[in-house]
């Protein structure tokens, strides 16, 4: 009888890791994800991130925190990141942070969002969506959709060209971005210019597969963490036939009419197979897709400041974004 995915103990893929990425693994420790440790880890990470906010502002950015009030739904906090240099209407990016639906914040993503705002000379709105398990689907998705509509309605004030608004996210945030693109299409909402997705978390059925990929999911984001994250988001065990495609976009049967997509993932990432499948299905639906797969890279590999594979991934991501930019940096 095969082991349940969360019980697998046969993974031994360290020899497949890009040697330049090994320091990340040496500096990471397994997480014991309980309700108590999740709350403590959130606060610990946020406290550390808030201390660094000013250093990003010193790079030539205006970083503005705002609470957005809505008449018919909960308030949503955002961080608006704008280059201080004056210019015309800029590209706008709605950024959705990662963290397995359990963790993360706009402040914790400033290394990405600040670099993007500077490189692209664009406005980044990073949404502090409600986290699981306190808020289950569709709470975080509706937070994102509300902020997307707010960006369009406030485009003049924000200095954004409403015809050039796209989505960007990593991991769970990239999965939410993919869900948001589906939702915007199906609600006849704002027309999106692009989806920029780094190792997106797309499919709850990865938790329950009986013949998992033998080389994925050993490092950083494991099958056990994935089970916890999906269960927290859904408020139920993953894998049932009733799960909405707006929760798990890999379940969507119709991918036609979606904006162009960039997907990046490593060969050792738990999300490799679901990302490859989603990319192929997007292509078959007539969606423009750019897909990058990096050998020896695990989930979160782009965090390295020195590994060649990480630097290449960051550069290719930004090069793709520049194609949609009506007002690039000088």
pLDDT(301) > 90: yes
Walk me through the domains of the chain, giving residue ranges and CATH numbers: 31-322 (3.40.50.1820)
pLDDT(125) > 80: yes
pLDDT at residue 262 in the model: 99
State the maximum Cα–Cα separation within the chain, in Å, rounded to a whole number.
64
pLDDT at residue 191 in the model: 98
Q: Which pLDDT band, with edges at 50, 70 and 90, does 28 fall under?
A: confident
Average pLDDT over residues 312-325: 97
**Helix 139-153 with 172-186: angle, nearest 10 deg:** 60
25: CB partners within 8 A, 6+ apart:
14, 17, 219, 220, 298
Average pLDDT over residues 10-23: 94
Average pLDDT over residues 118-127: 97
Distance between CA atoms of residues 323 and 319, nearest Å: 7
pLDDT in tens, 154-188: 999 999 999 999 999 999 999 999 999 999 999 99
pLDDT at residue 4 in the model: 39
pLDDT(5) > 70: no
pLDDT at residue 9 in the model: 54
Q: Which pLDDT band, with edges at 50, 70 and 90, does 29 fall under?
A: confident
| Mean pLDDT taken over the chain | 95
74: CB partners within 8 A, 6+ apart:
130, 143
Residue percentage of the chain with pLDDT more than 90: 91
Q: How many residues make up the chain in this entry?
A: 330
pLDDT at residue 158 in the model: 96
What tokens does 97 get? 């942070």
pLDDT at residue 106 in the model: 98
Q: Which pLDDT band, with edges at 50, 70 and 90, does 1 fall under?
A: very low
Written in H, E and C, the secondary structure of the chain is CCCCHHHCCCCCCHHHCCHHHHHHHHCCCCCCCCHHHHHHHHHHHHHHHHCCHHHHHCCCEEEEEEEEEECCEEEEEEEEEEECCCCCCEEEEEEECCCCCCCCCCHHHHHHHHHHHHHHCCEEEEEECCCCCCCCCCHHHHHHHHHHHHHHHCHHHHCEEEEEEEEEEECHHHHHHHHHHHHHHHCCCCCCCCEEEECCCCCHHHCCCCCCCCCCCCCCCCHHHHHHHHHHHHCCCCCCCCCCCCCCHHHCCCCCCCCCEEEEEECCCCCHHHHHHHHHHHHHCCCCEEEEEECCCCCCHHHCCCCHHHHHHHHHHHHHHHCCCCCCCC
Distance between CA atoms of residues 101 and 134, nearest Å: 10
């Amino acid at each position: 009888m095969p082991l349940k995915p969360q019980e697998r103990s046969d993974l031994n893929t360290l020899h497949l890791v890009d040697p330049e990425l090994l320091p990340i693994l040496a500096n990471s420790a397994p997480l014991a994800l309980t309700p108590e440790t999740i709350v403590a880890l959130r606060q610990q990470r946020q406290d550390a991130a808030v201390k660094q906010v000013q250093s990003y502002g010193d790079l030539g950015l205006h970083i503005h925190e705002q609470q957005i009030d809505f008449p018919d739904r909960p308030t949503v906090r955002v961080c608006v990141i704008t280059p201080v240099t004056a210019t015309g209407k800029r590209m706008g990016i709605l950024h959705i942070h990662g963290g397995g639906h359990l963790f993360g914040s706009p402040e914790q993503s400033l290394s990405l969002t600040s670099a993007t705002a500077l490189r692209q000379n664009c406005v980044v709105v990073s949404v502090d969506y409600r986290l699981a398990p306190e808020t289950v689907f569709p709470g975080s998705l509706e937070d994102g959709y509300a902020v997307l509509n707010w960006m369009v309605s406030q485009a003049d004030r924000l200095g954004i060209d409403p015809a050039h608004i796209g989505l960007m996210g990593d991991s769970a945030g990239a999965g939410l971005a993919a869900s948001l693109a589906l939702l915007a299409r199906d609600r006849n909402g704002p027309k999106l210019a692009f989806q920029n997705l780094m190792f997106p978390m797309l499919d709850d059925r990865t938790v329950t597969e009986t013949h998992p990929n033998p080389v994925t999911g050993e490092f950083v984001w494991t099958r056990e963490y994935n089970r916890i994250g999906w269960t927290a988001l859904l408020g139920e065990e993953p894998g049932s036939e009733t799960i909405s495609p707006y929760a798990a976009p890999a379940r969507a049967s119709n991918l036609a009419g979606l904006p162009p997509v960039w997907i990046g993932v490593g060969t050792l990432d738990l999300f490799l197979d679901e990302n490859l499948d989603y990319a192929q299905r997007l292509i078959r639906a007539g969606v423009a897709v750019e897909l990058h797969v990096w050998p020896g890279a695990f989930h979160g590999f782009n965090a390295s400041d020195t590994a060649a594979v990480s630097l290449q991934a960051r550069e290719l991501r930004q090069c793709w974004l520049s194609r949609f930019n009506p007002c690039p940096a000088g």
